[in-house]
Structure 1
Amino acid sequence: MTQAFPPEDGTGLSMRNLTHLIYGLFALGLLSAGFFGVATIAAVVLAYLKRGDAAGTLYAAHFDWVIKTFWWGLLWILISAVFTFIFIGWVTGLIAIVWIVYRVIKGWLALFSAQSPLAD
């Protein structure tokens, strides 16, 4: 059974605050139109590093959500960059960016509600 809020040992950031930090860094990278792209990379690295600590909790689903959003978003942005040579890449790129923003908002709102981002 998964715990919504695992017991905290009192040292460092709680898993909840860390997950908020990850979403915040990811959003900062998006809002800055890539200027702070390192923030998005930092969010994904944090999610990978803390993924094991969150196993069996609600936060594991959020870390997986952020990681999948990053990799799928990167794939579609790169494909869109290639497609700009045939002028359809601008449309697919815009769709990819909207999808990434949607996933960050959906995941973050689910975290505020103490739910998994996969729950509809």
Structure 2
Amino acid sequence: MTEALPADEPQGPNLRTVTHVIYGLFALGLISAGVLGLATVAAIVLAYLKRGDAAGTVYAPHFGWVLKTFWWGLLWLVLSALATPILVGWLTGAVALVWVLYRLIKGWLALFSGQSPDGEA
């Protein structure tokens, strides 16, 4: 008689927990106005490290969402900082921060409801 071996259980936290941690760290860095900016950097590093594990799962779009939000937000904040001497930088910086906050909230709420952040199935 042969017995089926149990499937190997993945080690460490599941992808849902990791995705919540990524959103939480990103939010912590954003809400602290950069004081805890390392939290945002940690979120991005974690997203890059776990992106391969999430490939093909419902969590994969969340990793891409967070990474795109970070890089586009960083680009617009840097451009806004460069434009502050002509005073338009303050306005574009505020718009960029609101956009990043919107995407963070939208993505995290989509994670809570088990959906993709970009509205696709």
Aligned to 2:35: 35
| Structure 1 segments of 4+ aligned residues over 6 angstroms from their partners | none
1:89-111, Cα deviation, whole Å (9 max, x unpaired): 00000000000000000000000
How many corresponding residue pairs? 114
Distance 1:88 1:118 in 2: 30
Aligned to 1:91: 91
Amino acid at match of 1:108: W
Distance 1:21 1:52 in 2: 17
Distance 1:30 1:76 in 2: 15
1:39-82, Cα deviation, whole Å (9 max, x unpaired): 00100000000000000011110000000000000000000001
Among the aligned pairs, what percent are the same residue?
65
What's the Cα RMSD here? 1.5
RCO (CA 8 Å, sep 6+): is it higher in 1 or 2?
A: 1
Aligned to 1:105: 105
Distance 2:9 2:51 in 1: 17
Q: Which ranges of structure 1 fall in alignment gaps of 5 or more residues?
A: 1-7
Distance 1:18 1:54 in 2: 10
